[in-house]
Amino acid sequence: MDPQDRVIVVTGAGSGIGEALCRHAAGNGARHVVVTDLNGDEARRVANEIGGTAEVLDVSDEAAVAALVERTESSVGPIDLFCSNAGFVTNAGIEESNEIINKMWEVHVMSHIYAARAVLPSMITRGEGYLLNTASAAGLLSQIGSVGYTITKHAAVALAEWLSITHHHQGVRVSVLCPQAVETNIIANSPTLRDQGADLGGGVAGGDGVLSSADVAVSCFEAIAQERFWVLPHPEVANYVERKATDIDRWLGGMRRFQTALYPDGPLPGDAIAPKL
């Protein structure tokens, strides 16, 4: 699919990858781009700059997602490409609160389900449509230091696989974005990390370089044009996945060594729940 003359919706589009997707789509002939974000001011800023429509959207609210799709289809036309992109990250192990883990589940997994439920009927009727779901390299590998991010991004990848298998014969295509470190506002949008002054860019995910959001958007639309399932802006991820699949014990050992290198002065992730003697 090419963005030319297409109606495209992007969530989490007030900054970072979402904003870059909107700009790329608008700059390459999209008929209309719907810019959605929990931050209405940022959504309006992006929409005004590209000539799109701004919508305030909480992606964890299924009714709100369905209403957005209905409004778009009624006022603009059928949605050709839905980019389900919103996300946030934490830095915690199994001591993480149920509230935060459940919220991450809603934003990283259920939001993709809500989007698919809302747009699939029209796409199937027309015999074409595209879903781009943002996951992470953590969904194929792991995120040292964040159990919630790791498990929800794995689930996001699995969901995208299921959607691709199940609806391909109906003309629906699916790609899943799995980058490592990208220049985004994810820290600012992740309260616990923002308060800690965290910087993920050069740490856990930054070993293979920190890409610009614009570069990631280009990778996404290249994959969409070719109908490729994996979008890997950091190509090294494919090699890591192959190593993981062929020798899981060796890969786990390597990840443990990487964890130790990241935290040379301790404590290591998980030490927070160690018994105090």
Residue ranges in the chain assigned as alpha helix (H):
16-27, 40-50, 62-75, 98-105, 111-126, 147-167, 191-196, 213-226, 236-246, 248-262
State the catalytic residues.
149
How much is the pLDDT for 185? 66
- Which residue ranges in the chain fall short of pLDDT 70? 185-207, 274-277
Residue 18 included in any domain: yes
Instruction: Look at residue 132 in the predicted model and tell me its pLDDT.
Output: 98
> Residue 218: which domain range?
7-235
- Whether 240 maps to a domain, the answer reads no
Q: Which pLDDT score is estimated for 274?
A: 66
What is the total count of domains within the chain? Answer: 1
- Which residue in 244, 240, 180, 263 sits closest to 216, CA to CA? 180
What are the pLDDT digits (tens) for 169-211? Answer: 999 999 999 999 999 765 455 455 444 444 444 455 556 889 9
CATH number of the domain where residue 38 is located: 3.40.50.720
Burial of 119 (C-beta count, 10 Å sphere; 0-12/13-18/19+): buried
Q: Report residue 55: phi and psi, to 5°.
A: -140, 135
User: Which ranges of 227-247 would DSSP assign to H, the alpha helix?
Assistant: 236-246
pLDDT, residue 270, reads 85
C-alpha distances in Å from residue 88, one per residue of 70, 186, 244, 251: 26, 6, 25, 26
What share of residues in the chain are helix, strand, coil (percent, to 5)?
Answer: 50, 15, 35
CA–CA distance, 134 with 94 (Å, rounded to integer): 24
Say if residues 88 and 186 touch (Cβ distance below 8 Å). Answer: yes
**CB-hemisphere CA count at 13 Å for 223?**
26
- Predicted confidence at residue 224, as pLDDT, reads 98
User: Is 277 part of a structural domain of the chain?
Assistant: no
- Tell me what pLDDT residue 206 has: 55
Q: Which of 76, 77, 81, 78 is nearest to 22 (CA)?
A: 81
53 lies in a domain?
Answer: yes
- Per-residue model confidence as pLDDT tens digits over 82-116: 999 999 999 999 999 999 999 999 999 999 999 99
Is 166 in a helix, a strand, or coil? helix
Mean pLDDT of the chain: 92
Tell me how crowded residue 76 is: count the other CB atoms within 10 A of its CB: 15
Q: Are strands 182-183 and 172-177 parallel, antiparallel or unpaired?
A: unpaired
Contact 119, 126 (CB under 8 A): no
Q: The tokens of 166 are what?
A: 């199940």
Within a domain: residue 220? yes
User: Is the pTM of the predicted complex or chain greater than 0.85?
Assistant: yes
User: What was the pLDDT predicted at 188?
Assistant: 52
Say what the pLDDT of residue 273 is.
79
- Asked, for residue 134, whether it belongs to a domain, the answer is yes
Instruction: Tell me whether residue 109 is in a domain.
Output: yes
SS3 228: coil
151 located within any domain: yes
What does the pLDDT read at residue 222?
98
**For residue 108, which of 132, 82, 89 has the smallest C-alpha distance?**
89
